Amino acid sequence: MKDASATTMACGVCVEPGRFRIETRPLPTHAPEGWVLVDIAAIGICGTDYHIFEGKHPYLDYPRVIGHELSGHVASGPDAGRLVVVNPYLSCGACRACLRGKPNCCAAIAVLGVHRDGGMCARIAVPAGNLYPADGLSVHQAAMVEFLAIGAHAVARSGVGPGDLALVTGRGRSGLAPRCSRDWPGPRCI
């Protein structure tokens, strides 16, 4: 929890390619209607964050507070103190993709830490619908849910089933996350 008298917070900002600094910014005290303030508990550093630092991310305006693999505690209201996972993909809810249940394909998608400031700070405001209870998880485990969900989604979309062989390539956590074992009833991974 944050100090109730705090009025500022430190933020990790990629100022321009190759230049990162800690900046002091105002601590958010109010969230727009339908949004919730979350005190950040843990942050994962993603390949996207490295690409931003290297200047290799095509959809980014500098300076940017980075960070989209996030867990935190609800800052106020009836769920105050509850550990949550933050879904960093903000969708409009009104475009054709959103109306068809595909908010990940939103025509106006905004990703925290990429298209808008992210969670490498003490507190952030996010839509209430982008928070998921992390009951039973540690703050670090909850921060890993975003990238683990990417791997799980890929496996679910693949159509592989029991007895199928699958080759997962790449060194990243999303590719390595859907680990397979003899005990897993899904495809055998090699």
For the stretch 85-129, pLDDT in tens is 999 999 999 999 999 999 989 999 999 999 999 999 999 999 999
Q: How many CA atoms lie within 13 A of 30 on its CB side?
A: 2
Q: What per-residue confidence (pLDDT) applies to 153?
A: 75
User: Helix/strand/coil (H, E, C) string of 118-145?
Assistant: CCCECEEEEEHHHEEECCCCCHHHHHCH
Q: What per-residue confidence (pLDDT) applies to 170?
A: 66
Residue 14 CB contacts under 8 Å (≥ 6 apart), including other chains? 20, 49, 52, 53, 62, 63, 64, 66
Q: What per-residue confidence (pLDDT) applies to 81?
A: 97
Q: Is the pLDDT of residue 152 over 50?
A: yes
Residue with the two structure tokens 């931003």: 52
What's the Cα-to-Cα distance from 47 to each of 55, 67, 149, rounded to whole Å? 12, 11, 16
Q: What per-residue confidence (pLDDT) applies to 3?
A: 66
What's the Cα-to-Cα distance from 166 to each of 112, 153, 174, rounded to whole Å? 32, 15, 15
Dihedral sign of CA atoms 58, 61, 62, 68 in order: negative
Q: What percent of the chain has pLDDT over 90?
A: 68
Say if residues 11 and 20 touch (Cβ distance below 8 Å).
Answer: no
Say if residues 77 and 94 touch (Cβ distance below 8 Å).
Answer: no
State the pTM of this model.
Answer: 0.84
**Mean pLDDT estimate for the chain:** 88
Q: What per-residue confidence (pLDDT) applies to 186?
A: 47
Report the range of poorest mean pLDDT among 107-116, 142-151, 156-165, 166-175. Answer: 166-175
Q: Is the pLDDT of residue 46 over 50?
A: yes
* 174: helix, strand or coil: helix
10 Å CB burial of residue 37 (0-12, 13-18, 19+) is: buried
pLDDT tens, residue by residue, 8-27: 999 999 999 999 999 999 99
